[in-house]
Amino acid sequence: MIEIIPETGSTNADLLARLAAGEEIAENYWLVTDTQTSGRGRQGRPWLSEPGNFFGSTCISLQASDPPPASLSFVIALAAYEALVPIMDRPDRLQLKWPNDVLMSGAKLAGILLEGRGRNIVIGIGVNLVSAPKIADRDIASIAGTGSRPDRDVFAHSLADSFRNEVAAWRDTGLEPLFKRWLSVAHPVGSPLAVHATDGSRIFGRFVGLAEDGALLLEDGDGGVHTLHAGDVMLGRN
Amino acid sequence: MADSALPENLRYLIEEFNRSGLRELHIRRGDFELLLSHTDHAPSAPAASRRPASPSPQQAPQAQAPAAPPPAEQIADGLPEGTVAVVAPNLGTFYRSPKPGAAPYVEVGQRVEQGAELCLIEVMKLFTTVRSEVSGTVEAVLVEDTAMVEAGQALFAVRAD
């Protein structure tokens, strides 16, 4: 089910508030809004919510047999990728960046934020369907910039379908096939990357794959391999 | 004991333990001791965050994500007598504030109610809010801001009312 509302502060904040109030949110439910007044991204960064773009959140209720919940970052990224391919003139320009950024020709097309509350994981995603907000020092893209003008509601249903299928596969077959498919559409092994770690340090190296839990493996110039679980990843910054 | 008879916090901890891939979790403090285990072996040291050799880029990941168990001494040691440890629900980066430059959720000496937000743990863009399981006073912050923490590692010491 997709509920569409004209405006809210943040769809993620709305679902978290409903969980905090004791409400159970069914899986496959999406809260979608025409615009957000307080959209947010990683580390409290604002997510500029321009009308016509997609902003929505959903919720997963973890089961005891589920894979580690952080791997849902890869699940939602793949679902977004699959929903975007049919509405793009040049889907070959799409690429995923660790762990869940969606890029078009290297510029950010979608942002994803997951927030955990007890056994529930709220997953929010913003996709620049018709306009690309201008953000200093960030390359931002929109699909409309390529000549297409996708319909928000059609995209919402496509994303919900893709995510439902990806979650089912995540539960049924685990992480190995998930990571294989993620790797097939992400920055290739060997890509030069720079990671701005959360402690302020920067690590430069080349991408050598994913750890068993999905952590980024980055080989530095001395041949040491860093296992990174958080940080801002920049492509091609060696 | 039936699951329904377990305290909510303990049931949640068991579910997280089952989901985490940990082989063993051992918490010991004062007269309280809890051992959750899938094995007869003693806990081992946590995995290093930096490895000396390059893995095969084509190496297929495993279906599950086995993580090293948290060493019991991380929880048993360093806690002021009579305080309750608030532990990390999973491996990740520890944040004392909701965003860079913002005030910390809590300071030492601050009183908190049960369920109060204490910090965030981030792993792969999943941000999990850690809450106090008791009402009381924050007696110690046991981890530096932005440090990596292991699942089960003690983050705060709270003296319950």
User: For residue range B57-67, what is the model confidence (pLDDT) as tens digits?
Assistant: 333 333 333 33
**Strands, E, within A164-224: which ranges?**
192-196, 202-210, 216-219
**What six digits make up the tokens of B93?**
């980066």
For residues A4 and B145, give the distance between their C-alpha atoms in angstroms, rounded to a whole number. Answer: 38
Taking CB atoms and an 8 Å limit, are B125 and A180 in contact across chains?
A: no
Question: How far apart are the CA of B134 and the nearest CA of chain A, in angstroms?
Answer: 16
Question: How far apart are the CA of A181 and the nearest CA of chain B, in angstroms?
Answer: 11
For residues A91 and A85, the answer to whether their CB atoms sit within 8 Å is: yes
The pTM assigned to this predicted structure is 0.79
For residues A176 and A169, give the distance between their C-alpha atoms in angstroms, rounded to a whole number. Answer: 11
What residues contact residue B32 under an 8 Å CB cut-off, 6+ apart?
none
Could you give the domains of chain B? Answer: 1-45 (no CATH), 75-161 (2.40.50.100)
For residues A80 and A159, the answer to whether their CB atoms sit within 8 Å is: yes
For residues A128 and A143, give the distance between their C-alpha atoms in angstroms, rounded to a whole number. Answer: 7
Other Cβ atoms closer than 10 A to A187: 20
For A192-235, CATH number?
2.30.30.100
Q: What angle do CA B112, B115, B120 make, to 5 degrees?
A: 90
Nearest to B100 among A43, A174, A219 (CB): A43
A224 at interface of B, judged by CB pairs closer than 8 A: yes
A118 at interface of B, judged by CB pairs closer than 8 A: yes
Taking CB atoms and an 8 Å limit, are A115 and B127 in contact across chains?
A: yes
Which pLDDT score is estimated for B2? Answer: 44
User: Confidence band (pLDDT; 50, 70, 90) for B133?
Assistant: very high
Domain extents for chain A?
2-184, 192-235
Average pLDDT over residues B117-128: 95
ipTM > 0.95 (yes/no): no
For residues A231 and B92, the answer to whether their CB atoms sit within 8 Å is: no
Whether residue B53 is predicted with pLDDT greater than 60 in this model: the reply is no
Nearest CA in chain B to A226: B50
Nearest to A99 among B51, B124, B127 (CB): B124
Fold of A2-184: BirA Bifunctional Protein; domain 2 (3.30.930)
